[in-house]
Structure 1
Amino acid sequence: MRDYRFCVALRRADGALDEPVHEELITAEDGTSAIALAKAIDVDMLRLRANAVYLVDPQGYVVWSLRLADVSDVSA
Structure 2
Amino acid sequence: MQRNYPVRGGLVAINHGLGVTSLYFHQRRVLMKVGQPVNRGQQVGKVGSEGVSNAPHLHLELRVRGEATRPAQWMNRV
- Give the structure-1-normalised TM-score: 0.33
More helix by share: 1
More strand by share: 2
- Give the structure-2-normalised TM-score: 0.33
Structure with bigger RCO (C-alpha 8 Å, 6+ apart): 1
